[in-house]
Chains A and B, each alone.
Chain A
Amino acid sequence: MRAQFRIRIRIVLAFVVFIAFLILARLYFIQILQGQDYAQKADQQFASNSSGLFDRGSIYFTRKDGTLISAATLASGYLVAINPQTLVDPEAAYAAITSVASSSLTHAAFLAAAARKTQVYIEVAQHLSDAEGTALTAMGIPGVQVLRERWRYYPGNTLAAQTIGIVSYGSGATLTGQTGLEATYDSTLSRSGDVLYKNFFAELFSNVGRLLVNTQDAHQGDIVTTIEPEVEMRLAADLAKVNTKYSSIGSGGIIMDTKTGAILALASYPTFNENDLQNINPQILSNPLVEHVFEYGSIMKPITMASALTAGVVTPQTTYNDTGCIHVDGNRICNWNYRSHGAYGIIPMQTIIEQSLNVGASWVAEQLGQEKFRAYFTKIFGQKTGIDLPNETDALIGNLYKPQQIYYDTAAFGEGIAVTPIQMIRALGAIANHGVMVNPHLVSAIRLNSGVVQQLNWGQGTRIFSAAAARETTVMMDALWDKALIVDGVSARIPTMSVAAKTGTAQLPTPTGGYYNDKFFNSEVAFFPSFDPRFIILLYTDDPQHVIYAEQSLSTSLLDLVHFLINYYNVPPDRGFATTTSS
């Protein structure tokens, strides 16, 4: 009797175990092997998106006091969807929805959507505020669903738009960074999206380790940029004024920390509102400051001079006989003011920078020789800067590999070679930074989800010029600002602050290889305090109308930015002239 009972118990136990194994096997097949297929089928029937609410890391501006301000974050609200199969009164539903929030669908399109009875989910309005969503939910309209929603939001709207970048679906099915920092740091900012919908059984079978330690936290996080929002805004405002005043094709500017390469502001005009990407020209999404190359004109002369001084082929005391015009390889090169001023005669090197003499720059290039000239310029412009933005373009310096001297003579004053604005400010920054070329960058740190703040190390930079050559070139640029630069009829000189500057005006190239006589590219650079600079500013405007020289088009903005930065950062005076000046 007892033996029979034990046998029965064992049979029952074996049956239970067998059933349990069957269930486990079935669960394994359904949830592990076929889980995605079932999830997709379910999503197609009942949900808008299998990955749940959109999630993505933030991008931050950094104020001068270290406060982080969101450049890109997430906004929360509601979306409205209809189920045509259960929607009873489309007219009433449309009226109710539009009374609360403006639907992205027209009345006719809404009715057409409501008529699609084979579907159970059609989104009709997005980005509703909490109040709007709550109000619509309270109406309880049959067939109308009010669902929680999150989307990418840029509090600055147009602020640093090309630099911050955008997210979009692109060619895939998920929102990813397409331009700017959103693209460069996409792997850090992206979120897997499965956190909200963990399948308990599936996790037990396949991701026990991840339940305990989430490895994604070690590489996902928020990024902290070096961009100072108020400086960025000031730069953008100045560029907008220049571009509007002179009806330029476009204008751009960069403000960089000369010692570290941290970009404080990087802006171009025209720009766009990142929160409203409908009906914008896709070309405007690119960042001309790293993706376009330009011929800058005379702001290249300090680089030529610093190269020659470093090579030891000239000294600040070296003189040459300026004839006003020279002929090289059958081409005529003249000073910009030859017609009004004529030849300068025997003059020192400083006058070349101070008066921006093309003939002088060509003479310096000839003293340097083709091989050394090519070596210096290749070292400076031969590689991309490595800035953390996508699609950085190479400089066009192919002319420096040709034997004709004309290419070196013109490159010496910034024509015949084309570089990106970010390459240009890095090169000029080497003069400001005592001869060392830094690595420009936009992101200083990554705040990982694990709580660790990963500081990015951008290196110490590369020595390009000798410290003495950099200082001697700075003296020349400093003299230009104090003695030669006139802004709105008044000297730019600041009695208590030394500023080193250079203006540049280049003729725009024609598609056939020549140059326009009536189209110009204006550029201007300044760094201060001259001999221990904190900031370097580069501005340009492309094809300004009714103006020829950069001094006319850009100096007002440059001076405004210099004064703004001195005041905003409380830069102490670096020279002791107590002066009262009339405005």
Chain B
Amino acid sequence: MPSDTIAHKHPLHARRAARAFHFHLPFSPVSLCFGTVAVLAITYIGLIAVVMSYAVLTVEFSQSVRNDEATVATLESQYLAAVAQITDTNYVAAGYAKPIAKIFVPTQSATALR
């Protein structure tokens, strides 16, 4: 059994040895707390920044989509107006003559239809 262990020394020596062990930690608990708080605070601020940036980008993208849709709607309006103009055109008044005859193209297979 080893003879130089703390357990075999005088109790006073053992307490001093334990205190010496405490003082030999590479960092203090207070520093650890400060460090942790600092990391948390930076993380928190970073998180806020990320979330807010995300929200701003989302809003901008959403508005961009809506603006594009509005532009498309304008084009669609022009398309529908053009169709309406064609539908309402009076071809006789526009100078076109009514056809004197219509030729109807017969179906390829009449027997199977009726």
Contact = CB atoms under 8 A, between A and B. Distances in A.
Interface of A: 9, 13, 53, 55, 58, 69-70, 73-76, 148, 150, 153, 155-157, 159, 195-196, 198, 200, 229-230, 233-234, 237, 494-496, 498, 529, 531-532, 572-583
Interface of B: 30, 33, 48, 51-52, 55, 58-59, 62-63, 66-67, 69-70, 72-74, 76-77, 79-80, 83-84, 87-88, 98-107, 109-110, 113-114
Contacts of B88: 237
A496 B69 contact: no
A574 B111 CA distance: 10
Given A55-B66, A153-B70, A582-B100, 9 more contacts: A58-B69, A74-B73, A75-B73, A75-B74, A156-B77, A157-B77, A159-B84, A198-B55, A575-B113
Given A155-B80, A237-B88, A580-B101, A573 B69 contact: no
B76 A578 contact: no
Contacts of B73: 70, 73-75, 153, 155
B62 A237 contact: no
Contacts of B62: 195-196
B76 A573 contact: no
Contacts of A582: 100-101
Nearest to A229: B80
A553 to B, nearest CB: 20
A233 B84 contact: yes
A156 B80 contact: yes
The 7 closest A-B pairs by CB, nearest first: A576-B110, A155-B77, A573-B107, A578-B106, A76-B70, A496-B104, A576-B106
A75 B70 contact: yes
Contacts of A74: 66, 69-70, 73
16 contacts: A13-B33, A70-B76, A73-B70, A74-B69, A150-B70, A155-B76, A156-B80, A196-B59, A233-B80, A233-B83, A494-B104, A496-B105, A574-B113, A575-B106, A581-B104, A583-B101
A42 B105 CA distance: 72
A229 B72 contact: no
Contact of A579 (B55, B74, B104, B107): B104
A481 to B, nearest CB: 14
Contact of B110 (A53, A73, A159, A575): A575
Nearest to B58: A195
Nearest to B80: A156
B85 to A, nearest CB: 10
B104 A69 contact: no
Given A58-B69, A498-B114, A583 B102 contact: yes
Nearest to B98: A583
Contact of A531 (B59, B99, B103, B114): B114
Nearest to B113: A574
A150 B71 CA distance: 12
Contact of B48 (A53, A76, A200, A233): A200
Contacts of B51: 200
A150 B66 contact: yes
A531 B80 contact: no
A31 B63 CA distance: 26
A326 to B, nearest CB: 36
Given A233-B80, A498-B114, A578 B104 contact: yes
A192 B107 CA distance: 55
A4 B103 CA distance: 111
Nearest to A151: B70
Contacts of B110: 575-576
B59 A70 contact: no
A579 B87 CA distance: 28
Nearest to A77: B70
Contact of A575 (B52, B70, B87, B114): B114
A573 B76 CA distance: 33
A242 B72 CA distance: 33
A263 B114 CA distance: 27
A157 B66 CA distance: 20
A237 B83 CA distance: 11
